[in-house]
Structure 1
Amino acid sequence: MKIGVPIVAPNGMASEVNDHFGMSEYFAILDVEGDSVKGLEVIRDSPSLKEHKTPAQLLAEHGVEVVLAGGIGPHMIEELLDRGIKIFRGAAGTVEQAFEDYKAGMLSRAKSI
């Protein structure tokens, strides 16, 4: 399973979660098997790039099935859900902490509005 996390800057599992999902330039994509992270890739997109995509488009193209987010607006929730991506809110701290909180069931699942 692939899990996407918006991050402030690329720094592996120590990357800080970006609280504003829709404005994130970087995303960590975790390749997860069971309860373990088997790999991590950082992807980048920016409104200033010629080939800019929405975060939902970008993550869907990379096979992301679950998103761990801090703050995320209703439009982006709908766009992710429309692509079959599950969203869990309340992620904070580092990517590692967000993943641990997700595994522990501490993040709340976002539903369609």
Structure 2
Amino acid sequence: MKVIVTSTGDTLETPVDPRLGRAAKFILYDTETKEFSVIDNSASVAAAHGAGVTAGQTIADAGAEAVITGNCGPRAFQVLSAAGIKVYVGASGTVADAIEQFEEGKLQQAGDANVQGHFGLA
């Protein structure tokens, strides 16, 4: 299964970014092969509006079946749900920690956004 984890950096040892729409990077991880690649999310980070929609589309275009993050806003959730992508919230620690939490069934699958739009916008 291909999953995306929101990340602050380029490795499995970097912290999970608690924001989905404005996460610095996405780690695309294959749970079968244990291989990963990094997707830059700078277009969403720099966006004045629509970061969740742009990030959601990037995740869908990457072929992910699930996304693991700290929080997910309403627009990102809507795009991901429409694409059939499951959203798991409450991830913390490193990207590797979040993958382990996911594989052990310790993360909550979201039924809706768990934060308001513009969450994490400074």
- TM-score tier (shorter): 0.7 to 0.9
Structure 2 unaligned spans of 5+: 114-122
In the alignment, what sits opposite 2:27?
Answer: 28
C-alpha displacement of 1:111: 1.4
CA distance in 2, matches of 1:71, 1:78: 14
Note if 1:3 corresponds to 2:3. Answer: yes
Structure number with higher strand proportion:
1
Q: Using the aligned pairs only, state the percent identity.
A: 33
In the alignment, what sits opposite 1:86?
Answer: 86
Structure 1 segments of 4 or more deviating over 4 A? Answer: none
TM-score with structure 2 setting the length: 0.79
SS at match of 1:56: helix
Q: Deviations over 1:50-86 (max 9, x none)?
A: xx97111111111100001101112211111111100
**Aligned 8 A contact 2:27 2:38 in 1:** yes
Note if 1:63 corresponds to 2:56. Answer: no
Structure 1 unaligned spans of 5+: none
Amino acid at match of 1:32: T
Task: Report the aligned-residue RMSD.
Answer: 2.0
- Aligned length in residues: 107
CA distance in 2, matches of 1:80, 1:109: 13
CA distance in 1, matches of 2:95, 2:112: 25
